[in-house]
Amino acid sequence: MNDQEKLIQQCTATARQWLTPDFDEQTRAEVQAMLDADDKTALIDAFYQNLEFGTGGLRGIMGAGTNRMNRYIVGMATQGFANYILKAFPGRSDLAVVVGHDCRNNSRLFAETVADIFSANGIKVYLFESLRPTPEISFAIRQLGAQAGVNITASHNPREYNGYKAYWDDGAQVLSPHDTGIINEVNKVTIDQVKFTPRKELIQIIGGEMDIDYLQAVHEALIDQDVINRQKDLCIVYSPLHGTGRVIIPAALRTWGFQNINVVPEQMVIDGNFPTVQSPNPENAEAMTLGMELGTRLNADLVLASDPDADRLAVVCRDPKGQWCILNGNQTALMLSYYILENKKKLGQLKGNEFMVKTIVTTETIADIARRNGVEIRDVYTGFKWIAREIKIDEGKKKYIGGGEESFGYLPFDKVRDKDSPASICLLCEIAAWAKDQGLTLYDLLMKIYLDYGFAYQSTVSVTKPGKSGADEIRQMMADFRQAPPASLGGSPVVIVKDYQTLRQTANGTETPLLMPATSNVLQWFTADGTKISVRPSGTEPKIKFYVEVKGSMPTAADYDRAVAEAQTKVNAIKADLGL
């Protein structure tokens, strides 16, 4: 029997366990169809492994199977999470969790399943009445003094995905030791142990009152009310991409004082099939098309969008020719960081104990801006739980004033412990108002930052490798890079290698430790000419990602297009060196 035959045999045995009365008729029929099919690809993909409950929870394609998002996988995860909460807070009779969800297909079903199981385990549940943004779930955990939370969302993933984000009592996604503790409990659970029958008296529906509290908190990210008052008619176009920002973000903008808010009507419709976009990811230019069309008709100053769970955002502004220009995640984070630092300093709001945070794959220019303004900057792993960790470490001692990552996520205040597009979108509109006050656009402001701090260009290359074979390929790619790291990239020698899995850094033949709170499967290479390349497998999709940042020369704003073209040529050379 060859390896493929053994795999089919293993998957068949596992799948047959899903034909018992523990599973509903629809699930049994779907599994039986996979078993009966001549092509066993679907069977293998659905059953070759258990959908891993990782440090952030679950995320996967919806459907029947151990490697899929469905009511039973969600149920076993929740039972394990409940078991851990009961162990972590022994003897407490007032345990509570917050449960929310986004607009995706099955999200309400999964959220109600989660609520039912927590309540069946004697834990009070605050269940949102309908879809709400991820940052509001984070805020509610802290506001209500809950011990944990769950948000059913696959964020910006394609429509066939759903997910399960696990939060702890600080409103952040779980970190050590709770992450491994929860994972261990989840891995022990079998389907017959899941308590699906709810105690309805322990489930409390929440909604509008928490919206009000959250909107008041978001207002704390505002820096200069006067500039908004002067530019209250700034023409704003916004799209929620069919998701959770549809009510909260326009309301937040109004509370800040903006009066000319226009929404993309087709994308205000709640729909987990995301019918107006190929993928509900604001990183993709295609998702911004309808917003830009409306912006053109209205002669808008800027176009903004949030992803389905409203933690990420995208912004589009006008270039000198009046054409729409989509900012990448690094440029957005750069502009937010610049404005926070420059204007808090100008308004006397910096007291000397502030700090900012960025991820290791985000542009280094943010660090340059922070240092020039005398503000501490910290580098952390990808994932907002690491930014939240830094806030928690110094809570009450130092003041967090902003942080973000290249993947279109930013948090400009400390009342939430996850990416927050409502607050970030409001602040971006304040920045646009501030720029317009000076006769500038957001594009002009970006050029000013480059002229003041130097031009840098970033490019992210994602290589998708689906299924078991793809996961094996990604593991092998990382192993090969560790075994034989590149000697040069883009014509410049590699002078520093950082391996966050071994927590070792090699520079000029000398090895030193990397001071990080945990290991992570990330490699970084730095070249003599200031180029930075980071490589990591995605934690949420079957991808391996390469993050490239190259420096360039840009004497004037008119040189921007030339600098970008030269930088892209260098990026292409680096991709060729890496075999991409």
Known catalytic residues? 155
> DSSP of 49-83, one letter per residue?
SPPP-BTTEEEEEBSSSTTSB-HHHHHHHHHHHHH
Give the CA count within 13 Å in the CB-facing half-sphere of 247.
15
> Measured between alpha carbons, how far is 69 from 64 in angstroms, rounded to an integer?
7
DSSP string, 110-140: HHHHHHHHHHHTT-EEEEESS---HHHHHHH
- Looking at the DSSP bridge assignments, the partners of residue 532 are 526, 549
Could you identify the residue written with the tokens 């900057």?
377
Alpha carbon distance 173, 418 (integer Å): 8
C-alpha 95 chain-centroid distance: 28
Q: Which residues pair with 148 in a beta bridge?
A: 97, 168
The values of phi and psi at residue 27, to 5°, are -65, -45
Cβ–Cβ under 8 Å, residues 531 and 495: no
How many angstroms separate the CA atoms of 173 and 193, rounded? 25
Q: Which tokens in the block code for residue 192?
A: 């017959």
Q: To which residue do tokens 């929620």 refer?
A: 240
Check residue 310 and give left, alpha or beta (phi > 0: left; psi -120 to 50: alpha).
left
How many residues are listed for the chain in this entry? 580
The 3 state secondary structure assigned to 310-372 is: CCEEEEEEECCCCCEEECCHHHHHHHHHHHHHHHHHHCCCCCCCEEEEEECCCCCHHHHHHHH
In 3D space, the residue among 393, 392, 423 whose CA is nearest the CA of residue 409 turns out to be 423
Coil, helix or strand for 462?
A: strand
**Contact between 511 and 502 (Cβ < 8 Å):** no
How many of the other CB atoms lie within 10 Å of CB of 202?
Answer: 18
Coil, strand or helix: which one is 402? strand
User: Which residue in the block uniquely carries the two structure tokens 């701090």?
Assistant: 453
- Cα–Cα distance, 273 to 493 (Å, whole number): 47
The residue behind tokens 């309805």 is: 200
Q: How far apart, in whole angstroms, are the C-alpha atoms of residue 37 and residue 43?
A: 9
CB half-sphere exposure, 125, CA atoms < 13 A: 28
**Alpha carbon 216 to its chain's center:** 23
Q: Which residues pair with 126 in a beta bridge?
A: 98, 204
